[in-house]
Structure 1
Amino acid sequence: MIRITLSFLTVFFLLIRPALAAGPFEHGWQLNPDSSAIRFISIKKGSIAESSRFAAFSGSISEQGEAKIHIALDSVDTSIDLRNVRMRFLFFETFTYPEAVITARIDPAQIADLAAVQRKQIELPVTVSLHGVTADLTVPVAVTLLGTDRVAVATVQPVILKLEAFKLNPGREKLEEAAGVTITPVGLVSMDLMFDRTAPGSASVPAGTAAAGAATALESSGDFSREACAGRFEILSQGRSVNFAPSTARLDASSRDFLNSLSDIIRRCPGMVVEIGGHTDSQGKSAWNMQLSEKRAAAVNGYLQETGIPAARLVAVGYGETTPLVPNNTAQNRAKNRRIEFKILN
């Protein structure tokens, strides 16, 4: 949903100076991340609103009026480290979908009188690519000319994004389980963006450029503390992102991005031994389920070793059907019980 908000960013491209004979997009425009903000509000327990932001994003408008905004979803900032990790791994699944991209084609006629009126509201058609889904929408934005080379673009009101439209409902359900709260299946996105005219010959700003004060949101470099490692392994266990071909221990290709991210976290938890626990539902014979869980845990162990994790730091254990998360009384519950969990042994 946040990505959809980004679409509003495309509005910035309106930051054009119509007074120029060469055209309103002369030299193009560059988004100024330090003077801009992209935020989203989520509603939990029916009435509690929580505001979060993205700390790394970039955008530009070409001389042809083609606008594009990149948002680094790993830079989601909820002000709490492990909550940020939940958003990355459980909701946005940034190991597979690292960014949201907003594009738009701005019609010069929409802002032709901006130099005269200084501020105007326009309806901007945008295309949003988020979580593997591309959707078109129209966003009302206010464009304010602050000078010949600076323009502000802001959403007129929060944009309501339906999570189901971007296949984000499964992530919402994982967040609900992890936090023990209900979350409304919509997101409210707002943007306040500043664009500066590009100086002739200057280089464009790289995608995902971090804004000032982004350090608290972005994943730190170097090793994690034991507490941070334990919290991350618990969250990764809740992701249910390790998948296998039905009734086999053959890893699905969709699991690789997740396991590569897991491998990076294990490297940054030096000296810690990590248990890989395989679990099944109660369908079939218990002995067969135990064997299957052991083979699946071993398959994950083998993949992580292939990424460079020493065998001495990994322990594969099969639990079969002995430790269900929920009763095995529905197809949905059985899917939750078929899982791989990770925890620190020492």
Structure 2
Amino acid sequence: MKTILHRFVCTIALLLVLPVGLASAQSSDPFEYGWNLDGEASELRFLSVKKSKIAETSSFATLSGLITEDGQAQVRVLLDSVDTKVDLRNVRMRFLFFETFRFPEAVITTQLSPELLTDLHLTRRKEIELDYTFTLRGVTLERSTDVAVTLIDNDRVVVSSITPIAFTLEELDLEEGRRKLEEAANVDITPIGVVSFNFVFDRAQSGTPPNLPEAVFTPAAVALEEKGDMTEEACLGRFEILSKTGNIFFASGSTRLDDKSIPLLENLFDIVNRCPTFRLEIAGHTDSVGSDQQNQSISERRASSVVSWLSDKGIPRDRLTAVGYGEERPIVDNDTPENRARNRRIEFTALVE
């Protein structure tokens, strides 16, 4: 009986001492070994407003990031993983708004000060002002914001926005994307986006510094959607959206495809492959500059250039039809250089087999 009692008392004593032992194990170096972002547990959300009163919240499914041992932090956002909870809305965001075939990721970077966080293992939560840079579509903004840093345990920390962060679409070079979205969805969109985040980091292991692989630029393959053949609705919607991108380019006065067109063409190739029950009409259009005959000819030849590119990639020629409409079908008046550029376009129409 005494032996059992002795063991019971020792067990209770151990349990009482254990939290103290764990607390003493907390490091005063907030960046010891560095940290890796837990992408599945982290969140980056943005709010948009349409029709002046309807607010919609979207997020990104794929995030990666790290904090180095000297406090340099980086979070990468795979823009192809934008999630609005609606498939074709996701496609519009990717192709028309963010143009992810040209700009696959956004990057957030900052330098965390160890002086501000050395007592985090004691306070467990601190609010600090943080300077950061945000890069999107080749535009880099320098900003500051207040964040909450919360130590969940010795090996897990959460960095969260305290108040939402507002950006104008103009400063992020997203005004053209907004116009394309408005035309595609037939809605007015407020030219402001509001962002909030909740980044969760796990401490790296001793001797294994945090790692952030380089982003791999693989158009179409990175899109977070069901793989394999698409439904009729998905195919029709995607071809309509691709027609509105305005990202098929030709050398001035030429029918030779510009290399800038390749990222979008790679996505087009992927979608045509995944819509095997459709033939595709590829239509060329011009502005009103030049003679009718000249414009008709160049529109036909430019459409044929796209057909040849897809055929060379492996799409059967009998699934592709090239047509030219010259200047007959403008989408806007040919009264400004910007409007004439919009009328010079390639459109895609799915034809059921």
**Same fold by TM-score, threshold 0.5 exceeded?**
yes
TM-score, with normalisation over the residues of structure 2? 0.85
Aligned match for 1:308, one of 284, 301, 314: 314
Q: Does the aligned pair in 2 maintain the 1:57–1:207 contact within 8 Å?
A: no
Q: Which residue of 2 aligns with 1:82?
A: 88
1:192 matched to 2:198: yes
SS, match of residue 120 in structure 1: strand
1:320 matched to 2:329: no
Aligned match for 2:55, one of 32, 49, 60: 49
Aligned match for 1:275, one of 243, 261, 281: 281
- 1:142 deviates by 1.1
What is the identity, as a one-letter code, of the residue corresponding to 1:128?
A: F
What is the identity, as a one-letter code, of the residue corresponding to 2:329?
A: T
Aligned match for 1:149, one of 155, 158, 161: 155
Q: Which residue of 2 aligns with 1:165?
A: 171
Per-residue CA deviations over 1:79-125 (Å, capped at 9, x if unaligned) read 10000000000011111111111122211012122223322211112
Q: Does the aligned pair in 2 maintain the 1:124–1:140 contact within 8 Å?
A: yes
CA distance in 2, matches of 1:318, 1:118: 66
SS, match of residue 170 in structure 2: helix
Q: Which residue of 1 aligns with 2:36?
A: 30
Q: Which residue of 1 aligns with 2:4?
A: none
SS, match of residue 345 in structure 1: strand
SS, match of residue 255 in structure 2: coil
Q: Does the aligned pair in 2 maintain the 1:278–1:320 contact within 8 Å?
A: yes
Q: Which residue of 1 aligns with 2:65?
A: 59
What is the identity, as a one-letter code, of the residue corresponding to 1:97?
A: F
- 1:204 deviates by 4.3
Per-residue CA deviations over 1:278-305 (Å, capped at 9, x if unaligned) read 0112222111111110111111112222
Q: Does the aligned pair in 1 maintain the 2:27–2:154 contact within 8 Å?
A: no
What is the identity, as a one-letter code, of the residue corresponding to 1:20?
A: S
CA distance in 1, matches of 2:104, 2:121: 38
CA distance in 2, matches of 1:82, 1:248: 33
Per-residue CA deviations over 1:192-244 (Å, capped at 9, x if unaligned) read 12222123356747678xxxxxxxx8122111122211110000001111112
Higher relative contact order (CA 8 A, sep 6+): 1
- 1:19 deviates by 5.3
Q: Which residue of 2 aligns with 1:245?
A: 251
SS, match of residue 268 in structure 2: helix
Q: Who wins on radius of gyration, i.e. which is larger?
A: 2
Q: Which residue of 2 aligns with 1:116?
A: 122
1:20 matched to 2:23: no
Structure 1 unaligned segments of length 5 or more: list them: 1-16, 209-216
CA distance in 2, matches of 1:18, 1:112: 14
Q: Which residue of 1 aligns with 2:270?
A: 264
Q: Which residue of 1 aligns with 2:132?
A: 126
Q: Which residue of 1 aligns with 2:299?
A: 293
- 1:265 deviates by 0.9
C-alpha distance 207-33 of structure 1, shift in aligned 2 (>3 A): farther
Q: Which residue of 2 aligns with 1:219?
A: 225
1:107 matched to 2:119: no
Identity %: 51
- 1:148 deviates by 1.8
What is the identity, as a one-letter code, of the residue corresponding to 1:56?
A: T
Per-residue CA deviations over 1:258-290 (Å, capped at 9, x if unaligned) read 111111111111142111100112222111111
- 1:184 deviates by 1.7
TM-score, with normalisation over the residues of structure 1? 0.87
SS, match of residue 331 in structure 2: coil
Moved more, 175-184 or 85-94: 175-184
What is the identity, as a one-letter code, of the residue corresponding to 1:318?
A: G
Q: Which residue of 2 aligns with 1:95?
A: 101
Q: Which residue of 2 aligns with 1:339?
A: 345
SS, match of residue 240 in structure 1: coil
Give the CA RMSD over aligned residues: 2.2
Number of aligned residue pairs: give it.
322
Q: Does the aligned pair in 2 maintain the 1:18–1:113 contact within 8 Å?
A: no
Aligned match for 1:255, one of 236, 261, 264: 261
SS, match of residue 59 in structure 2: strand
What is the identity, as a one-letter code, of the residue corresponding to 1:40?
A: F
CA distance in 2, matches of 1:289, 1:336: 15
CA distance in 2, matches of 1:262, 1:319: 21
Runs of 4+ in structure 1 off by over 4 angstroms are 201-208
Q: Does the aligned pair in 2 maintain the 1:149–1:197 contact within 8 Å?
A: yes
SS, match of residue 232 in structure 1: helix
